[in-house]
Amino acid sequence: MVQSCPEASPAKWHLAHTTWFFESFVLSEFLPEYRLFNPDFSWLFNSYYESFSPFPEKKLRASFSRPSLEEVLAYREHVDTAMECLFEREPEPEALRRIELGANHEEQHQELLLTDILNAFFTNPLRPMYRDQGLGIGDRQMRERGSEGAREQGSKATPPLEFRQFEGGLREAGHTGEGFCFDNELPQHRVWLEPFGLANRLVTCGEYAEFIAAGGYTKPELWLSAGWDAVKANGWRAPLYWTEKDGEWTVFTLRGVLPVEQVASAPVSQVSYYEADAYARWAGRRLPTEFEWEAAAEGQPVDGNLLDAGNLTPVSTALVQNQENTKCFGDCWVWTGSAYLGYPGFRPLDGTLGEYNGKFMSGQMVLRGGSCVTPAAHIRATYRNFFSPETRWQFSGIRLAS
Ligand SMILES: [Fe+2]
């Protein structure tokens, strides 16, 4: 039931809330004999749907020690049983649409579970390790060679930063055709792109360490005004999970504490939009727009370092990148330079579910591509994630454009 920052939620809450979604938007409307598991759960596990019911303040989610985990799991069983009942009756098209949305919603929370556990473990001085460092992680060989070997290998393993050139022109952006998408990916519409270049890989921890060493966090000329305010107000001097002791930086991951040398060739993560923007300015580049990113990702297979790879942390680009193409998916969500707005002709879903995406279309930036904790089946080229620009607890990183 730990909630270590206002953006995060307790694991128990994620379990209950994803269950609540099916109860509230599917079963209560489409299974006539359905009985609520507990009427108090209706408001207790409502996240932000104003037109559904009142709900507790988000930062207070950890203050409810009841229901117990056992009770939450029983709630899930109750809802699963009812869902099976509904499936036997060939649900009407609207019910099927809501079920599909509920499944995609649950995938988003699978990602948030890990994002939030990482924050909870980081804020715990014991620094618990979520998963052993031994298996699955891409840079195991570097670790086995020790820190000196890692230092050497770390820089060697990083493929040179190159910019794949795109012609630009008139193209279609947004989702079309078969398969699920969120309302914010619609409607498909035309966008004009000037010729642009997109980096062949994400910015690495090693490169970001150079930005820090060059005084990146002390030079206001590199920062947007609101970004510089955030640096001063929050005392930022490195990404969220970087810690310095006696001049040595370490990075906290779901695989425990790693020396920065060991992850030098892995993508930098847990940076805000402001940091991504300042880094790009320092590097003489810029962030891509969401449509540039989409143009590059279109038609690519979704096979990067995603949840299914089991790394649970960004890994060395050399080990996941084995083709001349720009690989767009996985490791970290990339901050784009695009404000999160509705596409021309955007229409939110009808009713309460219209609150899912549409009401957040102010003061947030679009992120693309999924991360090392995003289920592979969940992500696609048109997928739009969004967070306010000072957000750092996400697996958010940097891809440069020119
Ligand atoms: Fe949710």
Tell me the per-residue pLDDT of 340-382, one tens digit each, with 9 for 90 and over. Answer: 999 999 999 999 999 999 999 999 999 999 999 999 999 999 9
Residue-wise pLDDT tens digits, 247-272: 999 999 999 999 999 999 999 999 99
Q: State the pLDDT at residue 113.
A: 97
Q: How does residue 139 score in pLDDT terms, banded at 50, 70 and 90?
A: very low
Q: How does residue 123 score in pLDDT terms, banded at 50, 70 and 90?
A: very high
Q: How does residue 320 score in pLDDT terms, banded at 50, 70 and 90?
A: low
Mean pLDDT of 16-27: 98
Quickly tell me which residue has 């060991």 as its tokens: 262
Q: How does residue 112 score in pLDDT terms, banded at 50, 70 and 90?
A: very high
Q: Would the pLDDT of 155 be above 50?
A: no
Mean pLDDT of 310-339: 83
Q: How far is CA 40 from the centre of its chain?
A: 31
For 349, the 3-state DSSP assignment is coil
What value does the CA radius of gyration of the chain take, rounded to a whole number of Å? Answer: 22
Measured N-to-C along each axis, helices 11-22 and 93-123 cross at an angle, to the nearest 10 degrees, of: 170
Distance 185 CA to ligand 1 centre (A): 18
**Structural contact between residues 193 and 390, judged by C-beta atoms closer than 8 angstroms:** no
Distance 108 CA to ligand 1 centre (A): 8
Distance 121 CA to ligand 1 centre (A): 22
Q: Cα–Cα distance between 212 and 382 in angstroms, integer?
A: 33
The predicted model scores a pTM of 0.93
Distance 271 CA to ligand 1 centre (A): 23
Q: State the pLDDT at residue 318.
A: 65
Residue-wise pLDDT tens digits, 268-279: 999 999 999 999
Give me the residues near ligand 1 (ion), CB cutoff below 5 Å. Answer: 47
In degrees to the nearest 10, what's the CA dihedral of 313, 314, 320, 323?
150
Mean pLDDT of 157-169: 91
Q: State the pLDDT at residue 132.
A: 85
Q: State the pLDDT at residue 395.
A: 98
**Structural contact between residues 328 and 381, judged by C-beta atoms closer than 8 angstroms:** yes
Mean pLDDT of 285-290: 98
Tell me the pLDDT of the chain averaged across its residues: 92
Q: How does residue 327 score in pLDDT terms, banded at 50, 70 and 90?
A: confident
Q: Cα–Cα distance between 110 and 69 in angstroms, integer?
A: 17
Number of H helices and E strands in the chain, helices first, is 12, 11
Share of the chain above pLDDT 70, in %: 92
Q: Cα–Cα distance between 239 and 15 in angstroms, integer?
A: 29
Mean pLDDT of 381-398: 98
Distances in Å between the Cα of 265 and the Cα atoms of 99, 232, 284, 347, 349 are 40, 29, 20, 42, 42
Q: How does residue 316 score in pLDDT terms, banded at 50, 70 and 90?
A: confident
Distance 104 CA to ligand 1 centre (A): 10
**Structural contact between residues 190 and 171, judged by C-beta atoms closer than 8 angstroms:** yes
Q: Of 133-137, 143-147, 178-182, 387-391, which range is least confident?
A: 143-147
Indicate the DSSP class of residue 337: E
Q: Of 58-72, 130-144, 217-231, 263-277, which range is least confident?
A: 130-144
Mean pLDDT of 198-208: 96
Structure tokens at 198: 């997109």
Q: How does residue 142 score in pLDDT terms, banded at 50, 70 and 90?
A: very low
Distance 47 CA to ligand 1 centre (A): 6
Cross-strand bridge partners of residue 245 = 248
Query: Could you tell me how many residues make up the chain?
Result: 402
- Asked if the peptide bond before residue 54 counts as cis, ω within 30 degrees of 0, the response is no
Distance 105 CA to ligand 1 centre (A): 6
Distance 66 CA to ligand 1 centre (A): 20
Mean pLDDT of 108-126: 97
- Beta pairing class for 333-339 and 396-397: parallel
Distance 17 CA to ligand 1 centre (A): 7
